[in-house]
Structure 1
Amino acid sequence: MITTDPIGDWTWEITSSGDGGTTAGAAETAVSIWGILAKHELAVPPGKVSLSVRSVNDMRNVHLDVSGLILEAEPLRPETAISEAVKRAESLEGDLLASLRIRCPGIWLESGVKHRVEQLFAIHVDVWKSSLTVVTLETYSDAWLTMDTREREQVAVHAENAPRLTAALVEVSSLLGNDPEPGDPNRHATPTEVGFEDPRTEGPAYSDSWGTFEIAARSRRLRSELPPTEDEFPETTEHPVRYFVIRREAETLGYVWASVSNDAAGFEPRTAAGDASFEVGAQWLMLLRDAHNQGLTPLKALEWLAQVPHSPEIGSIDEDSPQEAPTLDALEELSGKY
């Protein structure tokens, strides 16, 4: 399963010397870690980069904030977008925190088949006052666990994927010159220096952590981009649901659905599609609100969505008739897989 919040993370602290305490040094470190992940197909193009610089004494004081930069081949050569942003950051003076983040699409292996996930890892490098560099690596997949986050054994999936994570962590530690500090145990898993503890040993921290926490987190993220209202369809049902797949340029971004009992409707983002699934999902929820305002029932709203013209940027419905899932939970699970 794929999550919107990290399954686990690892942190390395480096007392800076030379270029290691500069924004340029942070960028070099992040790009080197990308290279290690790419060697194991834990990162594949295109990575997306953001860079911010803030005052240490007042984090609201933002000196630089750029995002959406594409990690090009040789990204730090002169005149690339990233090198230009780094140059701007290097020109700033004062007690500053420079933060560089790379979102890493990557490959999930299952039965020898490669599945692309738009945010498999994220690399985060902070430089504090040019004296301390903190590197954090986060993962958003449970492919490294012997049990998935819905409490089902996945020994074969673990065997295909966990060794790649272990090899990458060892190589990053060698690059940075020390071992990582594994993140704290969380609701999904317990990180170790070379991966994760086996949840079969003492059992998972929560029953069905993905279903318990991820669905609520995804709903909050979707709705954070919408104006508040009470004039909309309920988003939960105990009945089967009919749904259309939302695609854009052959990529599945999510599923718009309605309950067969006409008591609810909504949108399930395909988490593996990354930010685009939430950006598009917010627009489909707005269309559902329009249908609700017209007095349509959820099932009539689903029919209306298949016919009404809309912007191609939000994807399209290419099916003649909706598919059916036995429960909303089953559709949510489909949306959470690679």
Structure 2
Amino acid sequence: MITSTPVGEWVWELSTNSDEFRPSDAARTAAGLWGRLADQGLAVSGGTAALRVSGRSNPRDIRMELSGLGLGAPPWAPASPFARAVREADALEGDLVVVIRVECPGTWLEPGGSHRAERLFAVQVEVWGGTLLVTTLETYSDAWLTMDTRGREQPEVYALNAPRLAAALDGISALLGGPPEPGEENRYAAPSTSGFRDVRAEGPAYDDAWGTFETLDRTRLLDSRLPRSEDDYEQIADGPVRYLAVRRDDRTVGFVWAAVDDSAAGYVPRTAVGDAAFDAGAAWLTALREARRSGLTPLAALRGIRRPERPEAGVIAQDAPEEAPTLDALEELSGRY
């Protein structure tokens, strides 16, 4: 399963007595982590970066703040928007905090083949006053766990992927000169220096952490893109649902659905696509609101839904809806691949 919040993280810290660390050092460190992930097939071309530079004594003193920066071809082309932004940041003077964050597309393996997520990992590198460099690696997949985030054992998936993660962590530790500090156990898993702790003996913290928390996380991310409204359909369904796939740039980004009993309708983002799934979802949920204002029932809204006039919305990819036995089954589909 692919999650909206990290399954786990690892942190490395480097310090110096002089002001040696610059934004370009943070960028090189991020590129180094990308390379170690790529060595194991865990990072592939694509992705974007964000760069923020602020005063150390006054975080509100923002010197630079950019997001969605293209990286160019690996290892991040000198003429790319990201590389140009880093050069501008290097020219800034003062006691600064620099934060670089890179979303890393990558692939995980299953017995039937490989699958891509647009944010399999995220790398964040921070420079504090030139004397402290903090590097964090996050993962948003459960492919490295003995039990997936729904509480099911997955020995074949674990065997295919956990050694790749362990090798990448070893490579990053060699690059940075020491082992990581694993993040704390969270709702999904317990990180270790070589990956994740095997929780099969005592069981995970939650039987179905993904089902318990991911719906709430997705709702939060969709709501943050929408104005408040009283015109939403009910978005909880107990029985079968009909759905239409939404595609953008030759990828399925999510599913518009309505309950077969005509009681609810909504949108389920395909988490592996990343932010594009939520950007599209905001457009389709707005279209559903308009349908409800027009007096349409959920099923009528699904049958007659029109493509929003927004480029991020994508298009409906099929002529007739398919049916899932439950909304949970559709959410499973959207979160698994």
User: In the alignment, is the contact (CA less than 8 A) between 1:237 and 1:259 conserved in 2?
Assistant: yes
With 308-317 and 114-123 compared, the bigger mean Cα shift is at 308-317
Report whether the alignment pairs 1:315 with 2:298: no
Q: Aligned partner of 2:323: which letter? A: E
Give the structure-1-normalised TM-score: 0.96
How far apart, CA to CA, are the structure 1 residues paired with 2:94 and 2:2? 40
Q: Go from structure 1 to structure 2 and tell me whether the alpha carbon gap of 1:329 and 1:30 turns closer, same or farther (over 3 Å shift).
A: same
Output aligned runs, 1:47-58, within 5 Å.
47-58=47-58
The unaligned stretches of length 5 or more in structure 1 are: none
Which residues in structure 2 correspond to 1:6-85 (within 5 Å)?
6-16=6-16, 21-73=21-73, 78-85=78-85
The AA in structure 2 aligned to 1:318 is A
Q: Distance in 1 between matches of 2:270 and 2:169?
A: 28
SS of the residue 2:33 aligns to: helix
TM-aligned CA distance change 1:325 to 1:175, over 3 Å: same
Q: CA deviation at 1:73?
A: 2.7
Contact 2:284 2:308 in 1 (8 A): no
Partner of 2:325: 326
1:174-193 equivalent positions in 2, closer than 5 A: 174-193=174-193
SS of alignment partner, residue 21 of structure 1:
coil
Deviation at 1:310, TM superposition (A): 4.2
1:233 matched to 2:233? The reply is yes
Contact 2:71/2:80 (<8 A) preserved: no
2:222 maps to 1:260: no
Pairwise CA distance, 1:250: 2.2
CA contact (8 A) 1:23 1:90 kept: yes
The separation in 2 between residues aligned to 1:110 and 1:335, in whole angstroms, is 16
Kindly indicate whether the alpha-carbon contact (under 8 Å) linking 2:283 and 2:313 is maintained by their aligned counterparts in 1: yes
Distance 1:245 1:77 in 2: 35
* Structure 2 gap ranges (5+): none
Give the structure 2 partner of residue 211 of structure 1.
211
SS in 2 for 1:201: coil
**1:115-169 CA distances to partner (integer Å, 9 max, x unpaired)?**
1111000010000000000000000000000110101110000000000000000
- For the 8 Å contact 2:3–2:214, the answer to whether it is kept is yes
Letter paired with 1:119: R
Residue 80 of structure 1 deviates from its aligned partner by: 3.3
Distance 1:225 1:320, change over 3 A: same
The alpha-carbon deviation at position 95 of structure 1 amounts to 1.8
CA distance in 1, matches of 2:61, 2:144: 39
Which deviations, in whole Å up to 9, do the C-alpha atoms of 1:239-263 show, x marking residues without a partner?
Answer: 2110001112320100000011111
Contact 1:75/1:82 (CA < 8 Å) preserved in 2?
no
Determine if contact 1:20/1:26 at 8 Å carries over to the other structure: no
The alpha carbon displacement at 1:79 in A equals: 3.9
CA deviation after TM superposition for structure 1 residue 70, in Å: 1.8
Pick closer, same or farther for the CA change 1:198–1:308 going to 2, 3 Å. closer
Alpha-carbon separation, structure 1, partners of 2:76 and 2:300 = 53
